[in-house]
Amino acid sequence: IMADILPKATNNLVFVYGTLKTNEPNNKFWSAEIYDGGTRGSRGGDMRKHGLFQLLAKGETVQKLPLVVATKHNVPFLLHKPGDGHHVEGEIYCVDDKMMNSLDIFEDVPNYYKKIISEIKVSECLNDKISLERGTIVKCSSYQLTNFKPELLKLKFYKTYCSAVVPPYTEM
């Protein structure tokens, strides 16, 4: 049913919970231009977008998961430990295949994060063109740590990430 209401080009759903959210340090990723380097023998490359995207809604994980802030850079991590933590709040985007690939590279999939399909319950629609009813459950890709040190489970679990409230994020 979701495929019927999403634009054909941007039919991948992704749930973001940390620095990629609106007003967070890496939100600029969505609209940044990158240099493609050009093709061999050409006069240089072009600036291009990572891909197509639309912010659809705010939502929260159906399963409880631990969201922690760790490392010297204060990075938010969603730990793949269903049942622990909170119903984590974040944003739902629809993206094209190119943007999905760019996100996978940005999140260092599969070396660091794993891309896991999660059920997300819509809490607020943010898109006039693509209406998602509050309470609707959608399946979204999300970036989670699966191979993490047990000490991370001893950290404070957050329901929502807000860089203005948690220890400040620093770029790596």
Q: State pLDDT tens for residues 109-147.
A: 999 999 999 999 999 999 988 878 999 999 999 999 999
Sign of the four-CA dihedral 7, 99, 16, 83 = positive
Instruction: List, in order, residues 6 or more apart from 160 with CB less than 8 Å away.
Output: 17, 67, 88, 89, 90
Catalytic residue numbers, as ranges: 107
Q: What percent of the chain has pLDDT over 90?
A: 67
State the average pLDDT over residues 165-169.
75
Q: What's phi and psi for 27, nearest 5 deg?
A: -60, -25
Adjacent-strand bridge partners of 144: 114
Task: State yes or no: pLDDT of 42 exceeds 80.
Answer: no
Per-residue pLDDT tens over the stretch 83-117: 999 999 999 999 999 999 999 999 999 999 999 99
- Quote the pTM value: 0.87
The pLDDT of residue 169 is: 74
| Placement of tokens 């493609």 in the chain | 36
CA 53-165-21 angle, to 5 degrees, is 5
